[in-house]
Amino acid sequence: MTLNLEDIAKLAGVSRSTVSRVINDDRNVSDSTREKVLQVINQHNFRPNLAARTLVTQRTQVIGILIPYSPNVLTPYYFPALLEGLGTTAHNRDYATLLFWGGYSSEKDERFSKRILQQNRLMDGLIIASAPMDNPHIAQMLDLHVPFVLVERAATHMADQVSYVTVDNEEGARKAVEHLIQLGRRRIGHITGDLRITDGLDRLTGYRAALEEYDIPYDPALVVEGTFTRRSGYNAMQGLLAQGVDAVFAASDDTASGALQAMHVLGVSVPDDIALVGYDNLPTALDSKPELTTIHQPIEEKGARAAALLLDLIEGVVASPQHILLPTHLVVRQSCGATQAEGGTTGNKILHS
């Protein structure tokens, strides 16, 4: 026989509303009463009706995760590490996750917000990762009053309305370029990330800040826009070689990997001819030949903090907007030429920013 709330209440000697409060983890129930109700629930293997529970609590215990769609988005290490942090934190707090692929076209965005958020109410909140600054989802979520968190800095004009978790991209990039300058490099190129995304924009800002700090003129010919991908790094590096660079700061390790491949193909020695620094500290940085000097960012922690913040917003623990900025550090390996400059082996030397 299938039991309902009334049956559980009778067996536990409490009211139906008390059983409901226990199931919904209401704190206004004494420990002894909670234990008595849970004992009956466990004895009879009772499973509450999730649809009914949602109607009462107005929560689904589900959060959405929106990441940009591309055929190889799960191949690099970045998004799997981010999803690991997000998913583990949600699971530990008894929330399930729904993964959505974002095309970020206005038509698809409108369909997403109307069908998923308004009509079906499939989730309690949303995490948006690697979205362009003009992403229409952001305005739509604000209009719908659905809790959400960005996994990058919000555009400046929206920062006072939007919660986000990010790393100190500007300072990390500044440290990367400063390191190259201190090694005697002066004609330093930069392969940017996607400049529609604040991560890419902030890393460009950090690159320029380091040049300015050391009185090195900014040369736009030494900056090539990329897309955080290996292919964009390969293509951009071919153009930078014609500009006579002696070092390159790439906005991601995948981009740096593509740049390194282009230099190998064309017979350019790294770091003897050109020093190279990436960003992310992915496992592939250790597989590069030479091993890649890079900026470490805590990707999994970034995902975990974003999930925790979203759940706190959903549960009313904190109010939006909340801004979390995580630190980065420089990991010195062989591709920057530090071993030659310092006369020894640096291995995985870490310089904090």
| Same-domain check for residues 308 and 257 | no
Binning pLDDT at 50, 70 and 90, where does residue 344 land? very low
| Same-domain check for residues 158 and 70 | yes
- CATH number, position 294: 3.40.50.2300
- pLDDT for 253 beyond 90: yes
- Give the torsion through C-alpha atoms of 76, 326, 351, 337, to 10 deg: 30
- pLDDT for 18 beyond 70: yes
| Same-domain check for residues 178 and 207 | yes
| Same-domain check for residues 197 and 255 | yes
| Same-domain check for residues 231 and 344 | yes
| Same-domain check for residues 292 and 185 | yes
What is the extent of the structural domain holding 91?
A: 62-166+300-326
Of the residues 26, 41, 57, the one at which a domain ends: 57
| Same-domain check for residues 187 and 251 | yes
Output the average pLDDT for the chain: 86
| Same-domain check for residues 195 and 335 | yes
| Same-domain check for residues 99 and 146 | yes
Q: What strands, in cross-sheet order, belong to the sheet with 62-68?
A: 96-102, 62-68, 125-129, 148-151, 163-167, 323-326
For residue 311, the tally of other CB atoms under 10 A from its CB is: 22
| Same-domain check for residues 108 and 247 | no
Do residues 270 and 56 touch, judged by C-beta distance below 8 A?
no
Mean pLDDT lowest for which of 50-59, 78-87, 196-205, 311-320?
50-59
Average pLDDT over residues 33-55: 71
Residue-wise pLDDT for 103-126, tens only, equals 555 555 556 655 555 544 678 899
| Same-domain check for residues 226 and 340 | yes
| Number of domains the chain is built from | 3
